[in-house]
A and B are shown apart, each in its own frame.
Chain A
Amino acid sequence: MTTDFIASFEKRVSSLHEHNTADDFALREIVPLSYLIEKNSKWVLQIDLPGVERKNIVLTITHGHVVVKAKLEEAFKVSNHGQVIKFENMKKAVELPPYADIKKISAKFKNGILTITIPKIDSGKRIPIK
């Protein structure tokens, strides 16, 4: 449902920040926001997936990337130059950070945010200390 508030918000935000959604239109899939934070022993990657249910998220690791695909519960409609475009899926591929221990990657989904914990590899060739 498009209300006055939503219509006005969409017009303002879309017209002034349209450059960021070019990929959405090219791929016909919403590219969700994500953020990667480095902690001492791990990386934490968060992906914003509003309007998605846990069962409709597919998370894979492939070719050095974390790939997330998700289906929206309700289609997201955007007006683009007089045309209404319907998006039903989200997809994002994020390059794995350095020293990622891909065997120990874990994920949880809460309040529409997917949090992927990527531990850093903590083993290697031992160097003797003299």
Chain B
Amino acid sequence: MLNRNTVKNSKKIPREPSVLIVGIPGPGLIGTLSVSYLVHALDMEIVGEIENPDTTPVVFIDDGEIFGPIRIYKSGSLYAVLSDIPIDYDMAVSFIQSLIEFAQKNGVDMILLPNGIHAGEKDPNNIKTFGLSTDERLDVVMYDNEIPKFLTGMIAGPDATILTYLKNSQVPALILFTQCNFFFPDPESAMHTIKTISNIVKRDVDLTEFKKQVNYLRLQGRQLMEDTLNIMQQEKETKPPQIYK
């Protein structure tokens, strides 16, 4: 049968930009804490997992269901990838490749990667988040949300691999660096990151529950922080050649 329907005067319906937020363990557990809470507060549903062949197989069981350590969540046009294991050198390339492939297949307009940056004596009332974009179109996002540019510094290890792949990908990415305590879980700085992300994606996030659990998160996050630091330490030990020490 022939299709006799015709569409007249169609206007392109503007769609909400699709954003992928990526939470991986790092300094102060900023990525893990902020994205874990966003997934909860925005009632995001699990829609998939990233399986990585380069990591020790590990799963956790919840209510009789098996879950992998790197999961994908969705709510409307917002996606989140949350990893409960640190991304080491062996995993970094395949992880970021899978992430970019997922973003391209699902029409993601922007990847948001919250991370932490060491602040010696940070003032809890004046925590700053800096932004680093891989595409100049995202400078507007930084400007609109009053996020100062990350101007000078060095990023090493798997994070550098991730940034290199993001820089060379077609999907624009904005990396957020929030001042934090590098060595201990830092929920206060994670809270600042959550506020910044909620402004960028224009979703209200109620932080009441998070605020009540700051001490608990610092205690509960010890194990993951320790594993993350062990991986960072390995990187440090393999990094600078002796002559530059």
Q: Which residues of A contact B (CB under 8 A)?
A: 1, 3-6, 8-21, 30, 32-33, 35, 46, 48, 50-51, 74, 76, 78, 111-113
Contact = CB atoms under 8 A, between A and B. Distances in A.
Nearest to A16: B84
B219 A30 contact: yes
Nearest to B184: A48
Contacts of A1: 212
Contacts of B213: 3, 5-6
A5 B223 contact: no
Nearest to A78: B220
A113 B220 contact: no
Given A8-B40, A46-B183, A113-B181, A16 B85 contact: yes
Interface string B200-231: 00000000011011111111111111110100
A21 B223 contact: yes
Contact of A15 (B60, B183, B184, B217): B60
A33 B184 contact: yes
A14 B62 CA distance: 12
B189 to A, nearest CB: 11
Interface string B154-180: 000000000000000000000000000
Contact of B84 (A13, A30, A46, A113): A13
